[in-house]
Structure 1
């Protein structure tokens, strides 16, 4: 890790019973040139500010999930705020580390423990994680993870007044200008990477309406094929996003109806604008699409030489 670089980390956890653990983790972050921009979820403070939390997660170079003994304060949808933060980080493909406290009993779980156990399974399926019981064990895992050569981070930033490595910016620009175009095989391989779409939908259950979220892993090339009917002729971002929402609607409805056994309908399925714009940028970077015009008037089209994904 370059010594002149700093990295923003969103340390996500509940507040109950984790004050000392959060303090020790933040000390380790500071030792590695990392700054925590996250805050603990708690019920005794003001209203949960999702817009602020989302902005902090999106600015972070690394997301760290610290799970303790409880599922935590929940949104009206029944998902905890901490769970929602993890889902959002994964939907952005943020580099993620998770540390799960291994204290759940094998049977006779309370409702909160059942929710927490379900969250454990989701984290284990979608992220690298370590189990811990004692604080010393947790800190050993944190130190090893932050020092690992395998740790992936975002771009980071250089504090004002700190000199960058000489000639690196110019060299980077030169490499950018002289780099050879991606081959068809390289483009195809890169297009097969998986993105985690964070999808919101309305669920109708027993006369009640709730807003729920689903994390849907899908390959970039599959998304491209779903949008291709519109991309061939050219379409606005809003039309393309609506097209993809219709493509994933069946899968999302199936997952939410399975999750909510008493539900009878699911509709208003939405992919966030910010995430769809990221998908567009990835397609554009791979040379699959191009835009004419700017802002809301931009028209996106598939390039004539786009490889079949």
Structure 2
């Protein structure tokens, strides 16, 4: 949004000898929609004069110094007020435009210094100003044109805050605040999108993936004599297997009871598939187990681990109703990567299955050897 700014410019020079020149400069500033400031424009005040000058220079955006044939009255610091103002603008880093009379010798005697001391001080002041970039002029109109061109260029190369109408400033501030909020929203959305691909900080130091976790559980079974038994066992399951078993049923959320029931089924399936049951001498002749129940401490550990890994979260409803376990965005993307079928994966399975099938056929079709006589 374009802002209509008015820049305030301090015009520093001696006064009586440069009345016409100052008029041209001030007219040029007004045509550029700038606000001129100079000591002749200030109202009477009880403030110390130098304190007032400094305050006005501080409030200005740019500083212009014009040097003709006079040095000016000397202030309390041993310099003329014009040189004192220039040194202060230089010290505070104010953008400066300097305009020096091109041929001081051609200036009428009535507009030059008569005292040798003042002439010497004027020469030293000109030398100081000429250490920086400066422009030269001979006529008031030439000075006015030079100020216009130089100030337009300076505003482009050294932009300053300027002044803005109060009503325009409010609208501008509102637009800037909306832009800032829009950027904040975009940054937060970017972080949110990034969180779906990355786990929480420090998650890499936690057990996960194919690392195994020993799970304690109980179950019941009936032996060959018909007697019932209650058993406690421990089986090891990888974190990926636990997460795949539970997470695949968590897309619509799970209550505490549902979460526990699924964990029990995951543990039971792992125990049966691992072949540990067949190796257990106490379970010989047992056809099935029932009422598998994971130890409550291990259940809580699994929940805490998955929360620490940023995979699941607990959403509390009012009271105990509607409270449920859900996948986080990162958990959802992690589950998809874990469960999705990779390219050519079925082909590899098919080759393995076909080879196994061929082996079975060869065994079944093997000729029975005749017993030797």
How high is the TM-score relative to the length of structure 2?
A: 0.41
Higher RCO, Cα 8 Å, sep 6+: 1
By percentage of residues, which structure has more strand?
A: 1
Q: Which has the larger radius of gyration?
A: 2
How high is the TM-score relative to the length of structure 1?
A: 0.49
